[in-house]
Structure 1
Amino acid sequence: MKLRYRFLTFVLLFGLFTFDAAPTFGQVGDIGNILQSGREDANTLARAYLEPFGSGFGASLNTGWTNTAKTHGKFGFDVTVSAGLAIVPDAAKSFNVNELGLQKLELEGTNPVSPTINGTDETGVLLAAYEEINGNREKLLEFNMPEGSGFGYVPAPMIKAGVGLVKDTELMLRYTPKTEIGDFGNFNLFGVGAKHGINQWLPGGKMLPVNLSVMFGYTNMEVGSDLDVPAEDVIDNQNDTYNQYNSSKWDGQSVALNTDAWTINALVGKSFPIISMYAGVGYEASNLSITTPGSYPTVVPNENFDPNSSDEETKPLKVDALDEPIDVSIDGDNGLRALAGFRLKFTVFHISGSYTLSNYSSYNLGVGISFR
């Protein structure tokens, strides 16, 4: 049974349900096999495969903080449910395994280009590891890199509340308690931001026909899922491999994803009775960390190998355990950005949308209620 990276499926499905036009897919990755390739190669391959997801997820989380340049009046507030959708650049949809500097694995075949998680839905390259044992070149393991999702976007859902305070200042909060989504996993989200009007500090600023403000937002999102990778999944040749562990050794396997994203922007906008429009420039950054708590099986040469013995313990290969094999930190390919958006308000109900131009450009669409 192959391992499914269910935490990625869960995140994408939760984001995708907010987009009626988005394609639905139940599998976005199958990278369990790389866990057996050794700590260094597993981390290298995980980083290469997931890098656009990290950058795109951070860019998506950095959207949706505001829908006007104007701040709420004192004790005015809004609650907005929205979803960001980052666009993955074509250059980030594949990678060349020959450029990764793999330590243990070798490319099988001639084509070294493999899809990333947001690349084409074609099976990735075939990789294998070999070892010289008793004068023979023995194959320890072999696996294909996972296929891409065929979906060149990274969505992120969010719920935001904002309240007006004194001095033309607005406090913004994002919060979702730990929530289970079926068998896919769980997530929780927290974010804090602020927007401050600067017309009041400019000579004649209150006479200007536009609203000027600065804003900051920080979001942290955690996603987790249980995993199930028994030794049987990594043993190619049962007759030549000694398994010293019982099944309980692999209990407690899980995967955890943690994303930090922040942005700071200068905004200018104009509000009318029904529509508000704004634009701005700013900076964004993000970081995605992925860890795999628990022990995971791998196949290694058996130091007790004896070709003249028929004992189980002397087979040429054996199952070994890797503790927490993946510990990857991916900085988002973010930076300077420009953004523009609008809000349509009908009494207390509003619809909002925005577009952000950056290395990972993104859209955001939201609905909510607002007062003052």
Structure 2
Amino acid sequence: MKKIAFVLLFLSLSPIFSQQNIDNLLAAGINDAQRFTSDYLNPATDGLMYSMNHGWFNSAKAKKRFGFEISLVVNAAFVGNDNKSFVLDPTNYENLDFRDNPGVARPVATAFGDIENVIVVVEGESTVPGFPPQDAEFELPTGLGESNINFVPTAFLQASLGLIKGTEIKARFFPKVKTNDAEVGFYGFGLQHEITSWLPADKLFPVAISGLIAYTHLDGSYDFTNTNIVQGEDQRFENDTNTWLFQVIGSTKLPVFNVYGGIGYLSGKSSTDLKGTYRVQSGFVSSEIIVDPFSIESEVSGVRGTLGAKVALSFFRVNIDYTFAEYSGLSFGLNFGF
């Protein structure tokens, strides 16, 4: 469970720590570091928001009053090739430029990319009067592409309970987990209502149609003060992610095997803050003390479509579905209920 919790929040952040010193990024100045980090992390934070919203439903048929189901849901949102790199244009940066062919824009890796040996230069400050400044030169981080990881996973427990006619409430959560350095929690709530339950011939119809509204929240932090990445105190990343899903669902309602699908709209926002005190040792801000350097935000919105199937054997059910979206994904559920 702890390993899954770490993946949820820090899959997107670990390449920076493992492959490149944050001191190098901050050496270019806060604005440049913020711009690069935002472009670098966007595919990971966006993919996380899509992955968080897979698996909300496996049928359009609402449960009867006090009928319930408990599910273990595992999701994966896939990152396409278009999101494995971004074009870094030095003219949009204040102090950062490429060592080779300076001033010329070129693709560089995102958190899911694999573009190596991209060397950049940050003009330094002169420490001795009369001597030219010493430039800082370093390699930009690559991403998880070198490990052939091209998806953002999520996993959680989900419960559904039937209430009044045609209505069920849903809740999903990942228990708050805290390790020595990391802490992450995840929860969500949904309301599903079956429209066809109000039709006079409901029991004769072979299909059910319903609507779903769901909210999901993730928050976490990672304290890396003791890693000596860069000198300073109370150094950490903090993340806060919130999403809304609006979905129309249709499904068959047969005893054993059923198919289901739906059209929905996802909207979400993720904020990641770099907190703490940093003493940068090189580049444009050499020896400068920086407090709470920057905050980056990412927003997603778009239509999604889902197709899936479910097999029911008494109180045990298995379902699998695929969602077509900007970050398409696969969802698998093990469900127990009455």
Instruction: Please indicate the TM-score interval, normalised by the length of the shorter structure.
Output: 0.7 to 0.9
- Number of paired residues? 323
Q: 1:123: Cα distance to partner?
A: 3.0
Aligned positions of 1:163-174 closer than 5 A = 163-174=161-172
Q: Provide the rounded CA distance (Å) in 2 between the counterparts of 1:119 and 1:356.
A: 23
Q: Provide the rounded CA distance (Å) in 1 between the counterparts of 2:166 and 2:34.
A: 47
Q: 1:170: Cα distance to partner?
A: 0.5
Q: Check whether the contact 2:73–2:156 (CA below 8 A) recurs between aligned residues.
A: yes
For 2:266, the equivalent position in structure 1 comes to: 284
AA in 2 matched with 1:34: L
1:84-122 CA distances to partner (integer Å, 9 max, x unpaired)?
1111121110012116711121111248321111112x4
My pick for the range that moved more, 321-330 or 141-150, is 141-150
For 1:11, the equivalent position in structure 2 comes to: 7
AA in 1 matched with 2:324: L
- The reply on whether 1:64 has 2:55 as its aligned counterpart is yes
| Identity in percent | 27
1:245-266 CA distances to partner (integer Å, 9 max, x unpaired)?
xx6xx22111112221221111
Q: Check whether the contact 1:35–1:326 (CA below 8 A) recurs between aligned residues.
A: no
TM-score by length of 2: 0.86
For 1:97, the equivalent position in structure 2 comes to: 88
AA in 2 matched with 1:142: E
Q: Secondary structure at the match of 2:58?
A: coil
Q: Check whether the contact 1:36–1:297 (CA below 8 A) recurs between aligned residues.
A: no
Aligned partner of 1:355 among 314, 322, 338: 322
1:67-90 CA distances to partner (integer Å, 9 max, x unpaired)?
111111110111111121111121
Q: 1:8: Cα distance to partner?
A: 11
Q: Structure 1 214/124 Cα, relative in aligned 2: closer, same or farther at 3 Å?
A: farther
Aligned partner of 1:117 among 99, 111, 114: 111
Aligned partner of 1:37 among 7, 20, 28: 28
Q: 1:190: Cα distance to partner?
A: 1.5
- The reply on whether 1:365 has 2:301 as its aligned counterpart is no
My pick for the range that moved more, 354-363 or 337-346, is 337-346
Q: Where do 5+ consecutive residues of structure 2 fail to align? A: none
Q: Where do 5+ consecutive residues of structure 1 fail to align? A: 1-6, 16-25, 235-246, 303-316
Q: Provide the rounded CA distance (Å) in 2 between the counterparts of 1:85 and 1:295.
A: 35
C-alpha RMSD of matched pairs (Å):
2.9
Q: Check whether the contact 1:8–1:29 (CA below 8 A) recurs between aligned residues.
A: no
- The reply on whether 1:190 has 2:166 as its aligned counterpart is no
For 1:295, the equivalent position in structure 2 comes to: 277
Q: 1:171: Cα distance to partner?
A: 0.4
Q: Structure 1 226/184 Cα, relative in aligned 2: closer, same or farther at 3 Å?
A: closer
- The reply on whether 1:337 has 2:304 as its aligned counterpart is yes
TM-score by length of 1: 0.79
Q: Provide the rounded CA distance (Å) in 2 between the counterparts of 1:165 and 1:9.
A: 32
1:152-187 CA distances to partner (integer Å, 9 max, x unpaired)?
11111221111000021010012233202x556221
1:325-353 CA distances to partner (integer Å, 9 max, x unpaired)?
13000112x40111111222222222111
For 1:314, the equivalent position in structure 2 comes to: none
